[in-house]
Structure 1
Amino acid sequence: MPASLWNRGFVLWLLGTAQSQLGSALAGIALSFLVLHQTGSAGQMALTLACTLLPNLLGPLAGTLVDRWPLRGSLIGADVARGLLQLTVGGLALLWGEVPVWLVNAAAVLSGLAGLFAGPAASAAVPALVAPGDLARANGLLGSVGRGAWLLGTLAGGWLVTSWSPPVAILADGLSFLVMATLLGWVNLPRRAAAPGTRPDLWTELRAGLGVMGRSRLLVLAPIIALLLNASLAPVTAILPKLFDTLGASASGYSTFLALESAGLLAAGLLMVRFGERAAPTRLIGSGLLLTAVTYTTLWCWPVTGVLLPGALLLGLGFGLINLPFQTLLHQQVPQAYLGRVFSVLGMVSSMGMPLSLLLVSPWLDRLPLALWFGLAALAQGAGWLAWHWGCRQGQREPAAATA
């Protein structure tokens, strides 16, 4: 176990995360406006986003395989695959001028499949890179540095799309994945010891991961809350580019919104670095849910640029207060041998709300008032805060009841 937070493996991981986030921010803006410019439809953009997220339905199976395979191999393979896919889409867009939407969606599905292995593997790797006492600071640093890079990427993405073209930003994202794969080759991740005796089959190991989750009320409640939240936030993600287009801000306004959201996430990461060991993760998560609920209510009432941009900063802060402490909570409560399975099950349940929601609402995104989707997100965030508050109180009563 590393004695210092600033060991070579963690520093390389930090650098790789930063440049990968930079490239992903560039591509996120570029892909949105590539589809929007070719089709003029927010519904088509929603379908492309859904294609990226649909593979998450296979998350538990991927997480079980991640717990069996070497972490570094899973991470490098996923980054190489995603890098080649982005280079292909960006290169074809430069050569042809327009890429058929079916081809963009096929690449989105394949990229989502690769990310299916990268997500739980990356989450499971962090406890192997730092000491247990440094987990909160490490997650805070990864969140703040990653979001700082995302901030730069969104600002650069708006400039690239406006001054050059979406394919250039997509190519930059492809290169960033290949750089991340190269850096991972120098990170030493310890091999996990195999369990004694005959290894159980895949489905037995998957059930064991579910059993670990069932021991904690919060671990059972968290994916249900996330499912509700993501289902309501997905339409907001899809309509934002069109909303800024109707307000006359176009790509520059959208990229500024994402940049401010990233600045809020960066601030949350810095707060975690400074106070992460002192504040209870459960309280931070509740604060984040309440802040985002209030912010979405404000955007619902006043969907104008002057309110959207500062609202983005508060949303980013709220999302950071939800996500970063939850990473630490899982690292503290789940044995490392089960992290891949637990992260993948949570990811599957929470993220499947986005593609299902997008597929259901995509016909209505261009027909209903755009601000309406902020209101639905506000209601979902408020319900999530109430459910989390209830779960924390119930969790506090369980030990007392057991003692009695």
Structure 2
Amino acid sequence: MNLKWKKTFSIIFSGQIFSILTSSMVQFSVIWHLTETTGSAGVLMIAGLASFLPQALLGPFIGVWLDRWNRKLTMIAADGAIAFFSLLLGVFFYLGEPSLGVVYAILMIRSAASAFHAPAFQAAIPLIAPEEQLTRVAGWHQMVFSFSSVVGPALGIAVYSASSLGTVLLLDVAGALFANLMLLFVAIPQPKPEAAEAPSFLMEFKLGWQSLIAEKPIVAITFATTIFGIAFMPLATLFPLMTLSHFGLGGYSASLVEAVFAIGMILGGALLSALASKWKDTTYMSLSLAVIGLTCLISGALGGGAFAVFAVLSFFMGAAGPLFNGPYMAMIQRAFEPEKLGRVISLVTSLMLLSSPVGLALAGPVVERYGVQSWFLGAGVVIVLTGIYIFVRFRRTNLK
């Protein structure tokens, strides 16, 4: 049994790494193409919203269908839909420059399909892995995602520069088809159906919310996660600004910071998978927030000549990220019955996604008035306090 579940995940992840990698290539290449061809911040903002909002807004509702449908087939169908519309957009680009409306529409459809794929995958994990190994599997998933996030943009721009956006889109089709092929080789058991007391979509949706709210520890950590997201998510946008405005350096230095942050994420995922089950999940999460918060605080206090220190801090900030995200998802996977997990994961994923625009809306005026380093300082304080809250709240509980 021990070897069987590991073999299953090795097959699944071997396919998923190509699918996530090629999707990351497409995401970056499309934005880069729009930047080159339009030079419009408004166009980029709309493209970003088209890629993000459908997934965030659909999340609370699609969980009902995820818990009704076969999760393996849902993943295959979602990846297949992404592949089809990548192919369609590639055909448009080969025939000529498509209108912005077409690009926005296809980005929205890809985002909607992703809203089904990611939660279906997360909800399937407890059906395959032993409960005590869920944190380790979360570490593997963080490594796959981080690696794809690092390599994807670089490969995307290389292929785009050497050929065309259409070629990048065709590679995305190949990545999705390979991921689906790997899924055909594994068996993913289905959870037992819920009792007939939830016969309608509305009732099943309500039961999902009630199940989440009934788990007070998960509610407390989800609240803390939302606060963390509001403080931390704007930093993805502010890292280049910190390099350019505070340290007075150019694009090469900004890309270096992004690279060391991403490499830190990969190593953090590896560390989590190696140390899984050594401590409680809440201990990993508290440690993660302490490291992220302190690196933010120190970054905000650095002088204009300390760019090298900022780069090192960025590495540790990235490395700490998987120590929060992985255990949080593992806790959710343990806390809920498999037949309700699709709804719960969809709900919490939407909350995390929606924290990003809230954080950006708050960060904009603060950075404009007080400078970019002020958000690093403020975010550091908020994140450290959030970590202390989780540590104090759960230090004497038996919660895994």
**TM-score, with normalisation over the residues of structure 2?**
0.83
Aligned: 1:106 with 2:108:
no
Q: 1:104 to 1:153 in 2, by over 3 A?
A: same
Unpaired runs of at least 5, structure 2? none
Instruction: Please state if 1:92 is matched with 2:88.
Output: no
1:296 alignment partner AA: C
Could you say which residue in structure 2 is the equivalent of 1:76?
76
Deviates more, 1:387-396 or 1:368-377: 368-377
Pick one of 342, 345, 360 that aligns with 2:344: 342
Partner of 2:294: 294
Superposition map of 1:376-387 within 5 A: 376=375, 378-380=377-379, 382-387=381-386
Equivalence for 2:221: 222
Give the conservation status (yes or no) of the 8 Å contact 2:127–2:190.
Answer: no
Deviation at 1:86, TM superposition (A): 2.5
Letter in structure 1 aligned against 2:261 = E
Deviates further, 318-327 or 150-159? 150-159
Name the counterpart of 1:54.
Answer: 53
Opposite residue 212 of structure 1, the aligned amino acid is S
Mapped to 2, the partners of 1:84 and 1:370 lie a distance apart of 45
Task: Determine whether 1:129 maps to 2:92.
Answer: no
Q: State the secondary structure of the residue aligned to 1:9.
A: helix
Give distance in 2, aligned partners of 1:377 and 1:175.
40
Query: What letter is aligned with 2:130?
Result: A
Label 1:289 to 1:368 Cα distance change in 2 as closer, same or farther (>3 A).
closer
Structure 2 residue matching 1:200: 3-state secondary structure: coil
Q: Cα–Cα, structure 1 residues 118 and 235, in superposed 2: closer, same or farther, change >3 Å? A: same
Give per-residue Cα distances to partners, 1:260-313, cap 9 Å, x unaligned: 333212211211122111122112112222322333345545688745644442
Match of 1:316? Answer: 318
Residue 262 (structure 1) aligned with residue 266 (structure 2): no
- Within 2, Cα distance between the matches of 1:16 and 1:29? 21
What amino acid is aligned across from residue 88 of structure 1 in structure 2?
Answer: L
1:352 to 327, 351, 354: 354
For residues 261 and 392 of structure 1, the distance between their equivalents in structure 2, rounded to whole angstroms, comes to 25
Partner in structure 2 of residue 119 of structure 1: 118
Matched with 1:402 is none
Query: Which letter does structure 1 place at the counterpart of 2:28?
Result: I
Distance in 2 separating the partners of 1:292 and 1:314: 8
Q: Distance in 2 between matches of 1:235 and 1:39?
A: 25
Cα 1:49–1:134 change in 2 (3 A) is: same
Number of residue-to-residue matches in the alignment: 393
Q: In 2, are the aligned partners of 1:30 and 1:169 still within 8 Å (CA)?
A: yes
User: Secondary structure of 2:290's partner?
Assistant: helix
Identify the range of structure 1 (7-16 vs 150-159) with the bigger mean alpha-carbon deviation.
Answer: 150-159
Q: Percent identity?
A: 20
1:64 corresponds to which residue? Answer: 64
Cα distance in 2 for partners of 1:237, 1:43 equals 19
Q: Distance in 2 between matches of 1:63 and 1:368?
A: 37
RMSD, aligned CA: 3.4
Shift of 1:153: 2.9
Give ranges in structure 1 of 5+ residues lacking alignment.
Answer: 400-404
Alignment of 1:39 onto 2:38 = yes
Farther off after superposition, 301-310 or 312-321: 301-310
Residues 159, 34 of structure 1: alpha-carbon distance in 2 compared, 3 angstrom cutoff: same
Determine whether 1:393 maps to 2:389.
no
C-alpha distance after superposition, 1:56-93 (max 9, x if no partner): 12212101210111101211111111122233334434
Aligned-partner Cα distance in 2 for 1:222–1:381: 18
Residues 74, 121 of structure 1: 8 Å contact kept: yes
Give 1:103 shift.
2.8
Change (3 A) 1:22 1:249: farther
Residues 38 and 228 of structure 1: CA distance in aligned 2, closer, same or farther (over 3 Å): farther
CA contact (8 A) 1:30 1:157 kept: yes
Q: AA paired with 2:81? A: A
> Contact 1:268–1:320 at 8 Å: present in 2 too?
yes
CA distance in 1, matches of 2:311, 2:264: 11
1:171 Cα offset (Å): 3.6
The verdict on how the C-alpha distance between 1:37 and 1:253 changes in structure 2, with shifts beyond 3 A counting, is farther
Secondary structure, counterpart of 1:352 in structure 2: helix
Q: Note closer, same or farther for the CA distance 1:371–1:274 as it changes in structure 2 (3 Å cut).
A: farther
- Alpha-carbon distance, 1:392 to partner: 4.4
> What SS does structure 2 have at the residue aligned with 1:4?
helix
2: CA distance, partners of 1:209 / 1:277: 28
| 8 Å CA contact retained: 1:260, 1:312 | yes
Q: Which residue of 2 aligns with 1:19?
A: 18
Alpha-carbon distance in structure 2 between the residues aligned to 1:369 and 1:342: 37
The Cα of 1:393 is off from its aligned counterpart by 2.5
> Contact 1:264–1:316 (CA<8 Å) still a contact in 2?
yes
